[in-house]
Chain A
Amino acid sequence: MDVGPRLKAWKPRSNHQMVVCIHHSTDFEVHRNWLAITHSLPISQWYYEATSEWTLDYPPFFAWFEYILSHVAKYFDQEMLNVRNLNYSSSRTLLFQRFSVIFMDVLFVYAVHECCKCIDGKKVGKELTEKPKFILSVLLLWNFGLLIVDHIHFQYNGFLFGLMLLSIARLFQKRHMEGAFFFAVLLHFKHIYLYVAPAYGVYLLRSYCFTANKPDGSIRWNSFSFVRVISLGLVVFLVSALSLGPFLALNQLPQVFSRLFPFKRGLCHAYWAPNFWALYNALDKVLSVIGLKLKFLDPNNIPKASMTSGLVQQFQHTVLPSVTPLTTLICTLIAILPSIFCLWFKPQGPRGFLRCLTLCALSSFMFGWHVHEKAILLAILPMSLLSVQKAGDASIFLILTTTGHYSLFPLLFTAPELPIKILLMLLFTIYSISSLKTLFRKEKPLFNWMETFYLLGLGPLEVCCEFVFPFTSWKVKYPFLPLLLTSVYCAVGITYAWFKLYVSVLIDPPVGKTKKQ
């Protein structure tokens, strides 16, 4: 049953083979450099090597993954494996890199297949295309963000998300140990998934280590199972030992961690990810402009960088207080806490876990330090699972994905890519909106007038930023304006989606009560 969409899913993936010739993002060079490092240097040098500015800053499993890839790569082009060969690229290198992503996507496809099995198909329509499973598989496999980030921009998110979806699927299937194992492995592939670790930790502790609940849904303390805790701990410990052990033995752990968590970068990326801080920065800018107009501020005291461009790494606030990493950490924790409490006090099974996971991902996206816009995928993909089950979630999902995906547009900025990103975006957006609308046609409409208006606004925004703006005189004076507009506009939508999801999680009655009703 899932064969159709799966086969279709290979199409875009392989079609992007054809994009090979046009785009060389920096991530190409990053991964080429890592291939070279892992291939030609001993393990002890991996986290010290700094010939290229793109040093290895992923956890050890990813380094091992690159190491394995490099042994295939040498049959394509030996030259790409030379550490000194900075910015090296050849058609064979590109071919190899693209194919490695496509090949690793097999895992993602498998994970999607497993996830589709967990979705309860209570609303079985007559036609295949109207079944939630079908819709879900298309939503995941054709995901616009994943497609452009992996296959055009180039990264290996596909199989990482595959691991995550697989672990989620295992939790749904009550195979908690496997789920924990996959997530532990995933953490040692890419540490950005730490953001959702609280959800995993609390869920496993609450729903797996405590084997029973009181009738009112609250916790039964004497049902605590030590065996389960110890086995869970053992799994996590073994995986970590396998990953970090060699570096512990080499006494390099501090160096590894300093590479993994660089706090030297600024609050926001060059292009502000559409989160809370984008709004904060924008507010600061507006206030400073107003201040200057009304003569509250002295022009000489204003840091030069903040007024000329939004594109500097270190954004200096003029009116509002500057933000430190610690502040963002505290904000993130505060934002995550309620959802964690919810998971603990109102356990709703795997669905509740999934919502908490989405909230964790979204909250850390909202308040994190130096968040990249690609991190929104971390919330979008798990949210897809929720969207096909409940109309409320579907509406939040649609707002989140549409704005989140739109905010990825600046990743692809060359003219030949413009039609591709617009077409793919339209493809995904039209499909997701109309298929979910058909799925929930018996319930109230998915959007109210405000949301519809907001989403439709993305169209004019795109036209202004990419078609009108380059022909105006502002292009020289304010080159950052399109990016600023995009990020602020999207930030509004994502904040709204985050808020709405939070409200729906907090006011949702626990499972026990709904059953009684």
Chain B
Amino acid sequence: MEKWYLMTIVVLIGLTVRWTVSLNSYSGAGKPPMFGDYEAQRHWQEITFNLPVKQWYFNSSDNNLQYWGLDYPPLTAYHSLLCAYVAKFINPDWIALHTSRGYESQAHKLFMRTTVLIADLLIYIPAVVLYCCSLKDISTKKKIANALCILLYPGLILIDYGHFQNIYNSVSLGFALWGVLGVSCDWDLLGSLAFCLAINYKQMELYHSLPFFCFLLGKCFKKGLKGKGFVLLVKLACTVVASFVLCWLPFFTEREQTLQVLRRLFPVDRGLFEDKVANIWCSFNVFLKIRDILPRHIQLIMSFCFTFLSLLPACIKLTLQPSSKGFRLTLVSCALSFFLFSFQVHEKSILLVSLPVCLVLSEIPFMSTWFLLVSTFSLLPLLLKDELLMPSVVTTMAFFIACVTSFSIFEKTSEEELQLKSFSISVRKYLPCFTFLSRMIQYLFLISVITMVLLTLMTVTLDPPQKLPDLFSVLVCFVSCLNFLFFLVYFNIIIMWDSKSGRNQKKIS
């Protein structure tokens, strides 16, 4: 690639922004007794380093699970162990059993931030760069611009480098991205291996698992289940099983171990949702307190049914007509359904939706940019709590400017470019006056952005009334949820009408 230097510069810009954000405060800084996610990550290093593997997930006198117990899959634990060895080398106090609780210092912060940066540099960033280079049908300049926008996406930067999530999102998302890359370049085995690693790093990656499954299954069907397709299916199954067994090896020795890890991973008893999250249940909660009315198992079944129903059409479509583009779109809609309807969702899980949206950025720039802005906005209450207002505003503006300049998104709002052509054609068969779609979307964008800006300003400047101390964060969640619902509908529409447009184009050509 003759423009390699521009790509280097893009990566360097991404790194610089990441590091500048990381100079800010993190979650739970100086807030005993529980501190925050930063402390959780440090605590895991302490646990994994000092205790034998068998005790990692069990409550004991040395391992109080109430105090940031390990609740992520084995790969996270291994990663913590690795970091712990480095920490031990630099300063053993950082991971001393019991005594290091709530340890905070400038040097330690620097160390933790560096671990994130290194993980990011090794896994996420190369995946993004490779992904952008592998895109077809667009110019080199567009590829580089695309990489810049993805690397500048503020949500991920702010959560990983500002808030410091108790799990490195860039690792799990990076693995998932390697998976996407592998699967869409027809290196199916490598892709599924990478994706298994992602799941074993963070169980939330299950949001992405159905599209992967359907896409690979669809590929097998396409090759014919009696010949090559079957071979592929067997190979894939072996890869998945093997990688899972490898990751879980220390925990497969005893039944109780495996069950305990699973119990820690899927804490069903923690309720339908926690805190304020921009999904259906939390927003619905404003009108009706579902959590108090319905028993827990009904909640579970209900959320399962809703999730399943909402992602079913897209998945069936993908299985029947597997295509790279359809795969990425299905990733978006599935993750979004999970985020909106499933049980026990965190506000940070929106990143799992944002990643696939980043992947369609070059195809549907207008809608993707809009979505990514909303997703960052939905994290506002969390970021405010961590005193990350300034970096959030700055990175969001930088991201927005980058998107506007590199994709000129405001000129790409015709039905054709929003991928809604075939949809509106089919609607017009019944409603001939249905011509205002693109105009309507532009207005919706305007309204949405104005609401977001106003709400941000209000949250920052006004004090909420005493009766409703959470007024603004609930409003933020509610508004984001409405936006997300709209996006769910939109993405499902373009998935369902996708191939028809392809057929139409063929007819035309």
Q: A residues near B, CB below 8 A?
A: 4, 7-8, 10-12, 14-22, 127, 129, 415-416, 419-420, 423-424, 426-427, 430-431, 434-435
Contacts and interface: CB of A to CB of B under 8 A. Distances in A.
Contacts of A10: 401
Given A15-B394, A430-B12, A431-B9, A416 B17 contact: no
B230 interface: no
B12 A426 contact: yes
B6 A14 contact: no
Interface string B113-143: 0000100000000000000000000000100
Contacts of A129: 6, 141
A22 B23 contact: yes
Given A14-B398, A17-B394, 14 more contacts: A7-B401, A10-B401, A12-B16, A14-B397, A15-B398, A18-B391, A415-B107, A420-B19, A420-B20, A426-B12, A427-B9, A430-B9, A431-B9, A434-B5
B13 interface: yes
A20 to B, nearest CB: 8
Contacts of B25: 21
Nearest to B391: A18
Interface string B385-401: 00000110011011001
A164 to B, nearest CB: 27
B17 A427 contact: no
Per DSSP, are chain A's interface residues mostly helix, strand or loop, or mixed?
Answer: helix
Given A17-B390, A18-B24, A419-B117, A427 B5 contact: no
B21 interface: yes
Given A21-B23, A127-B141, A15 B17 contact: yes
Most buried by A among B8, B13, B25: B13
Interface of B: 5-6, 8-9, 12-13, 15-17, 19-21, 23-25, 106-107, 110, 117, 141, 390-391, 394-395, 397-398, 401, 405
A426 B19 CA distance: 14
Contacts of A17: 390-391, 394
A11 B398 contact: yes
B390 A18 contact: yes
Given A415-B110, A431-B5, A434-B5, A15 B12 contact: no
B9 A18 contact: no
A4 to B, nearest CB: 6
A15 B8 CA distance: 19
Contact of A15 (B15, B16, B106, B401): B16
8 contacts: A4-B405, A15-B394, A17-B394, A19-B20, A22-B23, A416-B106, A430-B5, A430-B12
A19 B110 CA distance: 14
A423 B110 contact: no
A415 B114 CA distance: 11
Given A4-B405, A427-B9, A416 B110 contact: yes
Contact of B20 (A4, A7, A18, A431): A18
Given A4-B405, A127-B141, A416-B110, A18 B12 contact: no
Nearest to B144: A129
Contacts of B390: 17-18, 20
Contact of A423 (B6, B16, B21, B398): B16
A4 B368 CA distance: 21
A430 B117 contact: no
B40 to A, nearest CB: 22
Nearest to B12: A427
A15 B5 contact: no
Contacts of A434: 5
Contact of A420 (B16, B141, B405): B16
Nearest to B395: A15
A419 B16 CA distance: 8
Given A16-B20, A420-B16, A427-B12, A7 B6 contact: no
